[in-house]
Amino acid sequence: MTQRNAWNQASDAFNSLHEDDRPAITAATREINARLGSVAGLDVLEIGCGDARNCVELARRGARVTGVDISDAQIGLAQQRVDAAGLSVGLLRADAVDLSPLSDGSFDVILAIYAFQYVAEMAACLAECARLLRPGARLIFAQDHPIRACFWDEEMQEESVLPARSYFESAPLHWSFVGTDAAMTSHHRTLGWWFSSLREIGFTVTHLRELPLPDGWADDPDVDEYTRDIARFLPQVMVIEAAKR
C-alpha cells in the first residue's frame, strides 16, 4: 500500500483522534505557531496540511496560505473546512518530494507538523523546500523525537517500556493506524542526520526544541504502559527551525 492510499484510508480516524487525543501534535502546533510570530502578509506553505485546520488559523492571522497533502481524502476535508471558514487558502494534492506546481522562491515560511516522518525521500523533499523558499526564509517542522523509535516493537505493534531497536537503525517502521487496517510506514532519522542534511541542502539550523508530553498526560490512568513508565522521562516531540542561506 502506498502512503497516499494509507492516508486516504486513515484520514477519518486520524482527524477523529486529532480532535481530542493527540497531545504531541497539539504541543508541536503550539510551539511552531509561537515560533512563527506574526504571519500577516507572509506567504506560508504547509506540507502535510491534513484537514487544513492550521492553514485556516494562519489565514485568519493574515497569511497567504497554501496547503499541500498527499491524501485526496485529506484535501477533500481541507476544502470543506476552508469553504466553511470563507477564507482564501490554496490547496494542492501533491507528494512532498515533487512540488513542481509551485514556483521557485515563492514562500517566506514552510512548515510541516508531523509530516516529514512519512516522507521516504527526505533529501529530495528538503531540496524542494530550499527551492520554494526565498533567501533568509524559514523552514519549521515538528515530529516525534527520534529517541521514540528505539521503543517501537514492530512485532508487538506497540511501544515497549524497553528499547526494541537501535537509535542508529535506519530501516522504516511499519505499523497499522489505530482503528483501521491502514498499513503505515514512517522513517526514523537521527538528530545528526537532520543537522547534516539541512546544512548540505543550504539551510542553517537556528532553533531546536525538544518537548515533553503535556503536564499530567503520562499520569492519566487510561494511557498505555509506555506513556506511563517511559514517556514522562524522555523528549517526545522535536521542533527544528532552519533558515535558507
CA dist 223 and 140 (Å) reads: 29
Per residue in 131-173, pLDDT (tens digit) is 999 999 999 999 999 999 999 999 988 899 999 999 999 999 9
Find the CATH number of the domain harbouring 129.
3.40.50.150
Q: Is 140 among the domain residues?
A: yes
What pLDDT is attached to residue 211?
94
pLDDT at residue 18 tops 80 = no
In whole angstroms, what separates CA 138 from the centre of its chain? 15
Q: Which domain holds residue 89?
A: 3-144+186-217+236-244
Q: Is 166 among the domain residues?
A: no
Q: Is 228 among the domain residues?
A: no
Number of domains in the chain: 1
Q: Is 177 among the domain residues?
A: no
pLDDT at residue 19 tops 70 = no
Q: Is 173 among the domain residues?
A: no
Per residue in 31-58, pLDDT (tens digit) is 999 999 999 999 999 999 999 999 999 9
Quick one: residue 44, left, alpha or beta (phi over 0 = left, psi -120 to 50 = alpha)? beta
pTM for the full model?
0.93
Q: Is 162 among the domain residues?
A: no
Q: Is 229 among the domain residues?
A: no
pLDDT at residue 17 tops 90 = no
Q: Is 231 among the domain residues?
A: no
The pLDDT confidence band at residue 21, using thresholds 50, 70 and 90, is: low
Per residue in 88-139, pLDDT (tens digit) is 999 999 999 999 999 999 999 999 999 999 999 999 999 999 999 999 999 9
Q: Could you give the strand order of the β-sheet that contains 133-144, starting from the edge strand earlier in sequence?
A: 89-93, 64-69, 43-47, 107-113, 133-144, 237-244, 203-211
Question: What percent of the chain is predicted at pLDDT more than 70?
Answer: 96
pLDDT at residue 2 tops 90 = no
